[in-house]
A and B are shown apart, each in its own frame.
Chain A
Amino acid sequence: DIQMTQSPSSLSASVGQRATITCRASQSISTYLNWYQQKPGKAPRLLIYAASRLQSGVPSRFSGNGSGTDFILTISSLQPEDFATYYCQQSYNSPLTFGQGTKVEI
């Protein structure tokens, strides 16, 4: 199974600041990498697919990049509604696996 490791596990930031979350895969997954946002008590929401493609309706302050084993999710200017937990997920092969999550807190 491909292991997905996110860092940091949590980060504290202020509104307007830039936030960066890293995801590393245990083997190369090309750009088969997705990012999800989850707020407490809510379902996950797809933000970024194929490493860098913005899902419809997602604000442009979210961006993703990377390929192979190393990926980054960037939130250029944090807004109050962005405080949530973020998960990366590899779509390269089965089993589909997620990172452990990164909680973005105020």
Chain B
Amino acid sequence: DVQLLESGGGMVQPGGSLRLSCAASGFSFTTYAMSWVRQAPGKGLEWVSSISGRGDDTDYADSVKGRFTISRDSSKNTLYLQMNSLTAEDTAVYYCAKHTRSTVVTRTLDNWGQGTLVPVSS
């Protein structure tokens, strides 16, 4: 079975940084693109970033471009999201999700992790 397990969330001050991880198992990690999607408390879903299976193509929402960096380590089957210059508007549960194909343009997310909460507050 596909399993995605996020970690790294926690309280951070405005202007601070945090790195989220998503450990993947149960599938060939490099065969599939991956994404981060977030959900502010009581709100809907917002796509954050995607990365191709090989890691050679990335895409970002305008709201995080220049502040967040997505990456993946095939040797560890792990997806990352480096988040810098955090603001209160970044407060959310962050989910990692698996695409159905290797490219970022296949924007269907068929498996999701349980999420990790990132509160940004002083």
**CB within 8 Å of B: which residues of A?**
32, 34, 36, 38, 42-46, 49-50, 55, 87, 89-92, 94-101
User: Given known contacts A43-B95, A49-B100, is B108 in contact with A98 (CB within 8 Å)?
Assistant: no
How far in angstroms is the closest Cβ of chain A from B102?
Answer: 15
Given contacts A94-B59, A95-B62, A98-B46, contact A45 B112 (CB under 8 A): yes
New A-B contacts (18) at CB < 8 Å, excluding given A42-B114, A101-B44: A32-B107, A34-B109, A36-B109, A38-B45, A43-B112, A44-B37, A44-B45, A46-B108, A46-B109, A46-B110, A46-B111, A87-B44, A87-B45, A89-B45, A89-B107, A96-B47, A98-B47, A100-B44
Asked whether, in the complex, the Cβ of B61 is within 8 Å of the Cβ of A49, the reply is: no
Q: Which residues on the B side are within 8 Å of A96 (C-beta)?
A: 35, 47, 50, 107
Which residues of B come within 8 Å of A, CB atoms? 35, 37, 44-47, 50, 59, 61-62, 95, 97, 100, 104-115
Best-buried of A43, A44, A50 by chain B (most CB within 10 Å): A43
Q: Give bound CA distance, A99 to B44, whole Å.
A: 8
Residue among A43, A55, A92 making CB contact with B113, cutoff 8 Å: A43
Q: Contacts A95-B62, A97-B47, A98-B47: A49 and B95 contacting too (C-beta < 8 A)? A: no
Q: With a CB–CB cut-off of 8 A, which chain B residues contact A43? A: 95, 112-115
